[in-house]
């Protein structure tokens, strides 16, 4: 069992790398512990709450009890299936803001500024939103928009404009800031995962998938030469003639590095692991987005609640199975917004997903019946956590400590999110539809009351990243250099959301796929020419919040 390149993880970045390397004539093996991505739970967009709660498709990780969230352990789903988390996520497609990537470049990730990554976003996209020089139209990843025929979708955007915010036709184009249509990795009514976009084409070009649990990277004289796996109950080694690439997620990639002897020396020694390279940054710098659901009762029966019964769900499922249309063909996130929290903030730091139903991610619906909600949260929390080893046994889950809300600014930012959302829901556009506030509720007003609500109800948006931070090769806390090479060893790279120096603005699937695309080019010693498109920044950002 050997190939030029051995990739661990058939997720967003791993699938993209497999395709680009196979396309260049390289032999590729992809190791994936999970199984098939076939079946309606994954492929029907409207069923998105199911796969992320199914042991069959999810690693089933949980955070340690979070001290600033009342000791709650938060669910941390990661895809254990072909396509990885792109097969179980909410399918929302966000590139991130241009200034996110310029921040990466300034923090030591040379060659990862917006001008460097924009060509990769264009290369990967097949955008169905019209013609725009900002977007790609013939890439493998289909990106589309929902029909937005529910009147609440328009009401949300109108309310934002009435409150004084910008409108935007394309938050993934020149202008992220504002209210407008949301985009999704959905094609012809089905989820369009990285497995469909990249892995199937890679297999046609000769890439092989091996179902196995990766235990560690096999090192010889400071060089990665293969991956030790358990396959069919037996231990074996899959040999890499050129390089091993970890694309196992921001939770499993640092875990594999540490099991392989690469990480904080004292932590490894404490678990009896021989140290190959002392990299104190492995597992550190863990970041995520937290969000709240601000829920309103609806005074008209225009929400998706009408389908929230046995007959309704049967209708939605049957219509999707027969025609790939109807409510099941959308993730129902069809309107979005990115706004700035205050004057002096140069680019958006709050994101909205709008949903015409009052429901939780686990599928539990609000008792009030018809309702709608906005998912809202700050984009750039200053809190940092860590992923560490529970033991030297590869079968053990890693220890995941997000340390959510540990920075005092987080509380101020979240209170601001709630108050700004209430103002938006109070606009004239919502007057025909908005009833009582379900959550937090009208009586929750003071800072202390809002803080108690945040502590009890803040949920992860499932965007963990940053645990194998990319930086300059001489940065003692960086884990990989700007080509994704693990610093201090040979023949080993990491390419997934773990290499993000700082979390991007919005959902992480798009940026993770871009990382796979770009690292593949670094491996092949080629690079797309830079772009010089200048993004829209509010001319009033220094003096006005909107």
pLDDT in tens, 253-264: 999 999 999 999
pLDDT at residue number 359: 86
Same domain assignment for residues 325 and 280: no
Neighbours of 399 (CB within 10 A): 15
- Distances in Å between the Cα of 422 and the Cα atoms of 163, 188, 332, 354, 450 are 11, 35, 21, 13, 13
Percent of the chain residues topping a pLDDT of 70: 99
- Judge whether 453 lies within some domain: yes
* Number of domains the chain is built from: 2
Same domain assignment for residues 318 and 420: yes
pLDDT in tens, 446-477: 999 999 999 999 999 999 999 999 999 999 99
pLDDT at residue number 514: 99
- Distances in Å between the Cα of 87 and the Cα atoms of 12, 219, 322 are 9, 32, 21
- Judge whether 343 lies within some domain: yes
Q: Which of 15-24, 40-49, 358-367, 406-415 has the lowest mean pLDDT?
A: 358-367
Average pLDDT over residues 67-90: 98
Mutual orientation of helices 447-457 and 408-425 as an angle, nearest 10°? 100
Mean residue pLDDT of the chain comes to: 97
Same domain assignment for residues 370 and 502: no
Average pLDDT over residues 71-80: 97
Same domain assignment for residues 241 and 314: no
Same domain assignment for residues 492 and 520: yes
Average pLDDT over residues 5-15: 98
Average pLDDT over residues 3-7: 99
Average pLDDT over residues 281-295: 98
Among the listed residues 369, 394, 347, 340, the one whose alpha carbon sits nearest the alpha carbon of residue 502 = 347
Is pLDDT of 226 > 70? yes
pLDDT in tens, 267-286: 999 999 999 999 999 999 99
What is the value of pTM for the model shown? Answer: 0.98
Average pLDDT over residues 316-343: 97
Which residues belong to the active site? 463
Same domain assignment for residues 249 and 280: yes
pLDDT confidence bin for 364, thresholds 50/70/90: confident
- Judge whether 133 lies within some domain: no
Tokens of 97: 């803001």
- Judge whether 462 lies within some domain: no
For residue 298, the domain's CATH number is 3.30.410.40
Same domain assignment for residues 256 and 109: yes
Is pLDDT of 362 > 80? no
Dist CA 199 CA 185 (whole Å)? 15
DSSP string, 88-137: TS--B-----HHHHHHHHHTT-TT-SHHHHHHHHHHHEEE-S---TTS-B
pLDDT in tens, 473-505: 999 999 999 999 999 999 999 999 999 999 999
- Judge whether 410 lies within some domain: yes
Same domain assignment for residues 306 and 234: no
Same domain assignment for residues 267 and 300: no
Same domain assignment for residues 232 and 301: no
Residue numbers of the domain that contains 158: 147-181+290-378+406-457
- Judge whether 387 lies within some domain: no
Percent of the chain residues topping a pLDDT of 90: 97
Task: Summarize the annotated binding site for FAD as residue ranges.
Answer: 81, 89-92
Instruction: Say if residues 129 and 334 touch (Cβ distance below 8 Å).
Output: no
Average pLDDT over residues 88-112: 98
- Judge whether 95 lies within some domain: yes
Average pLDDT over residues 174-200: 98
For residue 521, the domain's CATH number is 3.50.50.60
Is pLDDT of 159 > 90? yes
Among the listed residues 330, 353, 20, the one whose alpha carbon sits nearest the alpha carbon of residue 187 = 330
* Domain end position, chosen among 391, 422, 457: 457
CA angle 313, 316, 317 (to 5 degrees): 85
Q: What values do phi and psi take at 472, rounded to 5?
A: -65, 150
Same domain assignment for residues 216 and 313: no
pLDDT in tens, 27-55: 999 999 999 999 999 999 999 989 988 99
Mutual orientation of helices 114-124 and 509-523 as an angle, nearest 10°? 100
pLDDT at residue number 403: 98
Neighbours of 367 (CB within 10 A): 8
Among the listed residues 261, 212, 173, the one whose alpha carbon sits nearest the alpha carbon of residue 10 = 212
Same domain assignment for residues 254 and 310: no
pLDDT at residue number 485: 98
pLDDT at residue number 361: 65
- Judge whether 543 lies within some domain: no
């Amino acid at each position: 069992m050997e190939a030029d390149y051995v990739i661990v993880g058939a997720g967003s970045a791993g699938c993209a790398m497999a395709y680009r390397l196979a396309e260049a004539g390289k032999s590729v093996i992809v190791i994936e512990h999970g199984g098939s991505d076939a079946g309606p739970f994954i492929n029907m967009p409207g069923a998105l709450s199911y796969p992320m709660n199914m042991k069959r498709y999810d690693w089933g990780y949980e955070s340690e009890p979070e001290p600033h969230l009342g000791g709650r352990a938060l669910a941390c789903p990661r895809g254990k299936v072909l396509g990885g988390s792109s097969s179980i996520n909410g399918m929302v497609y966000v590139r991130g803001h241009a200034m996110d990537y310029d921040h990466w470049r300034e923090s030591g990730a040379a060659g990862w500024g917006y001008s460097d990554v924009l060509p990769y976003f264009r290369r990967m996209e097949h955008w169905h939103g019209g013609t725009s020089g900002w977007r790609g139209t013939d890439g493998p990843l289909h990106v589309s928009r929902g029909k937005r025929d529910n009147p609440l979708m328009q009401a949300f955007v109108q309310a934002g404009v009435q409150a004084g915010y910008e409108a935007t036709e394309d938050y993934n184009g020149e202008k992220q800031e504002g209210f407008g249509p949301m985009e999704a990795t959905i094609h012809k009514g089905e989820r369009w995962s990285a497995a469909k976009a990249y892995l199937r084409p890679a297999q046609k070009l000769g890439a092989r998938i091996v179902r196995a649990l990766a235990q560690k990277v096999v090192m010889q004289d400071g060089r990665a030469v293969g991956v030790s796996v358990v396959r069919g109950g037996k231990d074996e080694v899959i040999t890499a003639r050129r390089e091993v690439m970890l694309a196992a997620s921001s939770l499993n990639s640092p875990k594999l590095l540490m099991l392989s002897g690469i990480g904080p020396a004292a932590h490894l020694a404490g678990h009896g692991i021989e140290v190959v390279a002392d990299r104190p940054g492995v597992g550190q710098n863990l970041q995520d987005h937290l969000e709240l659901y601000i829920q309103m009762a609806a005074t008209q029966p225009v929400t998706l609640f009408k389908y929230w019964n046995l007959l309704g769900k049967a209708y939605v499922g049957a219509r999707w199975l027969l025609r790939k249309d109807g409510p099941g063909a959308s993730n129902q996130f069809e309107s979005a917004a990115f706004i700035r929290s205050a004057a002096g903030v140069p680019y958006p730091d709050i994101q909205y997903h709008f949903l015409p139903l009052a429901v939780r991610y686990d599928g539990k619906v609000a008792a009030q019946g018809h309702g709608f909600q906005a998912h809202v949260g700050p984009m750039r929390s200053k809190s940092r956590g860590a992923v560490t080893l529970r033991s030297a046994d590869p079968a053990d889950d890693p220890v995941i400590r997000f340390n959510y809300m540990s920075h005092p600014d987080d509380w101020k930012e979240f209170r601001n999110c709630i108050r700004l959302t209430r103002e938006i829901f109070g606009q004239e556009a919502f007057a025909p539809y908005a009833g009582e506030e379900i959550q937090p509720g009208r009586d929750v007003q003071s800072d202390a009351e809002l803080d108690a609500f945040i502590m009890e109800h803040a949920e992860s948006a499932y965007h963990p990243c940053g645990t194998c931070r990319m930086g300059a090769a001489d940065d003692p806390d960086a884990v990989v250099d700007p080509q994704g090479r693990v610093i201090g060893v040979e023949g080993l790279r990491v390419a997934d959301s773990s290499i993000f120096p700082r979390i991007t603005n919005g959902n992480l699937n798009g940026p993770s796929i871009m990382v796979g695309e770009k690292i593949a080019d670094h491996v092949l010693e080629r690079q797309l020419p830079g772009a010089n498109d200048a993004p829209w920044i509010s001319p009033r950002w220094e003096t006005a919040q909107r």
